């Protein structure tokens, strides 16, 4: 962020906005902050901070859901993620930053379009635990590479046709597990710098205040309208990253 005087305020604002969205929706912290952070931080710093902050935001939700967790449903995703995270972290440490920005931009655009226009389809029943583990692996690669730890599982849970409450007991624990595994792998590679630790503590108050405000507003706003606004912003951010 050297040489850019507005970088720090932008970083704090993005952290607050991402936490607010996550408090309202239960996910998407990484999507929101990555669309802004990648302009001012390196891909490695972005992924590391998403992982660190995501552990706080999602960890609290998983603690509240601990009594409803179904480990028979969770284990394939966790096994797949355990294999995918090391591959993602390895890619992160040597990949070209421009390529990662473009890839994240494409993903944001595709995800927002999917969420806007997803058709009514029959639930996917085929594949069983093997398919779930495959999605967990791809989600682990994406999580280790970008810090976006739960998006593929969110989409897959929807395709499976699982009820909303069941989906939250799957994608949030998987996200926390990927955050933990990614943090360990990044740490073992010595990629956590003093500047990144400093940014973590600078952004922590914004993270906590945004999360608390999001939780307070949850249920008070029109969820459908808010979701559309967020998706428009994600689409615009993704397009800007690409072009």
CA 210 and chain centroid, separation: 16
pLDDT at residue 183, rounded to an integer? 84
Residue pair 52/200 in contact (Cβ under 8 Å)? The answer is: yes
pLDDT by position in tens, the chain (length 243): 655 567 899 999 999 999 988 877 777 788 788 888 988 888 888 888 988 898 888 887 788 778 888 888 999 999 999 999 998 888 877 877 678 778 878 988 988 888 788 766 678 887 889 999 999 999 998 888 877 777 788 888 888 888 877 888 898 899 889 888 888 887 776 767 888 999 999 999 999 999 888 878 766 766 577 667 777 877 877 787 787
Distance, in Å, from the CA atom of 84 to the CA atom of 108, rounded to the nearest integer, reads 20
Q: What is the pTM of this model?
A: 0.74
Distance, in Å, from the CA atom of 52 to the CA atom of 176, rounded to the nearest integer, reads 10
pLDDT at residue 191, rounded to an integer? 67
**Helix, strand or coil for residue 163?**
coil
**DSSP string covering 8-40, please?**
HHHHHHHHHHHHHHHHHHSS-HHHHHHHHHHHH
DSSP 126: T
The C-alpha torsion from 85 through 90 and 94 to 96, rounded to 10°, is -20
pLDDT at residue 2, rounded to an integer? 59
**Helix, strand or coil for residue 190?**
coil
Q: 163's torsion region: left (phi>0), alpha (psi -120 to 50) or beta?
A: beta
Distance, in Å, from the CA atom of 65 to the CA atom of 197, rounded to the nearest integer, reads 29
Alpha helix segments (H runs only) across the chain: 7-25, 29-40, 43-65, 71-94, 97-117, 128-146, 151-160, 164-188, 194-217, 223-242
């Amino acid at each position: 962020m050297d040489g850019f005087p507005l970088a720090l305020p932008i970083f704090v604002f993005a952290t607050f906005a991402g936490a607010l969205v996550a408090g309202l929706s239960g996910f998407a912290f990484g999507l929101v902050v990555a669309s802004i952070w990648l302009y001012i931080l390196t891909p490695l710093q972005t992924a590391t901070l998403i992982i660190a902050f995501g552990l706080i935001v999602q960890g609290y939700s998983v603690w509240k859901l601990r009594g409803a967790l179904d480990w028979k449903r969770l284990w394939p995703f966790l096994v797949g993620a355990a294999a995918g995270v090391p591959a993602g972290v390895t890619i992160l440490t040597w990949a070209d930053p421009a390529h990662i920005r473009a890839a994240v931009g494409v993903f944001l655009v595709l995800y927002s379009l999917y969420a806007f226009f997803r058709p009514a389809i029959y639930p996917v029943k085929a594949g069983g635990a093997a398919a779930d583990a495959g999605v967990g692996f791809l989600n682990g690669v994406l999580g280790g590479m970008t810090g976006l730890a739960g998006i593929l599982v969110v989409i897959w849970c929807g395709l499976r046709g699982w009820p909303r409450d069941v989906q939250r007991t799957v994608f949030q624990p998987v996200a926390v597990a990927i955050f933990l595994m990614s943090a360990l792998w990044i740490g073992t590679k010595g990629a956590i710098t003093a500047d990144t630790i400093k940014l973590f503590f600078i952004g922590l108050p914004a993270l906590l205040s945004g999360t608390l405000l999001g939780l307070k507003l949850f249920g008070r706003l029109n969820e459908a309208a808010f979701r559309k606004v967020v998706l428009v912003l994600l689409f615009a951010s993704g397009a800007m990253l690409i072009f």
